[in-house]
Amino acid sequence: MPEQLKKSEIDMDPTVAKQYDDETPTQQKFDDFAAMADGLKIGLMGTVRDGIGPVARSMAVAKRTGPDFLFLANANSQKFNDLEKSSIANVYFQNSSNQDWISVTGEAVTASNDDPRIKEVHTKSVKAWFGDLGDGVHNAEPEDPRMKLIEVKAKYINYWKHEVGSAGFMKEVGGAVMTGGVANTGTLRKLDGKELEEMRSKHGAMSS
């Protein structure tokens, strides 16, 4: 049910105040994050472009280990130039069917073409995005010099997990409009600092 707006919430975002969850144990927060992340294979990766600001593009996740993400990318893409100047990256995921979302902010580390993880994450479908020049070198195989990796090492993760279905969402929003309350449709959580290190210790490090 919608919750009544309190005077103490006037100087803050009441949606955050009503939905923020700081009571759930770290392991449960991480389990929910992992389940959501593994169901959303495509995200928007944001980098900071010199003279412009944040720039994002769609990227397929090659691998997730703990709170960290690995992407296979073309070495000639502009994002590598961005990351040379600023290593901060954000990866954003959203499930359009239920509005669940995840935001991962971290340090992006690039790996050269001889990184053995390229062979581990390479698939036949990757070829569709690189093309084969027919020269025996630029053939979209793991040894193709255009193949590079971007590893995003999470420093801060926040996510929102729905708690009502589509009908419940409309009912909650409608009730809030009618009563002057604040719609409460899900749970907002964060993972950072020691929590992320705990996850890495349990699940291992991504880096080779």
List, for residues 9-47, the tens digit of each pLDDT value. Answer: 666 677 777 778 989 999 999 999 999 999 999 999 999
pTM of the model: 0.87
Tell me the pLDDT tens digit for each residue of 133-167. 999 999 999 999 999 999 999 999 999 998 765 66
CA quadruple 72, 74, 75, 76: dihedral, nearest 10? -160
Place of tokens 């993400």: 69
Q: SS3 for 22? A: coil
Domain limits for position 89: 25-164+190-199
Total count of domains within the chain: 1
pLDDT higher than 70, residue 177: no
Q: Is residue 180 part of a domain?
A: no
Q: Is residue 126 part of a domain?
A: yes
- The amino acid at residue 134 is G
Average pLDDT over residues 46-61: 96
Hey, what are 59's tokens?
A: 């990227």
Q: Which letter, b or e, does each residue of 99-119 get, where b requires 16 or more Cβ atoms within 10 Å of its Cβ?
A: ebbbbbbbebbbbeeebebbe
Q: Is residue 65 part of a domain?
A: yes
Q: Is residue 18 part of a domain?
A: no
Q: Is residue 177 part of a domain?
A: no
Place of tokens 């290190």: 197
Q: Is residue 102 part of a domain?
A: yes
Confidence of residue 105 (pLDDT cuts 50, 70, 90): very high
Place of tokens 């053995």: 116
CATH number at residue 72: 2.30.110.10
Q: Is residue 172 part of a domain?
A: no
Q: Is residue 17 part of a domain?
A: no
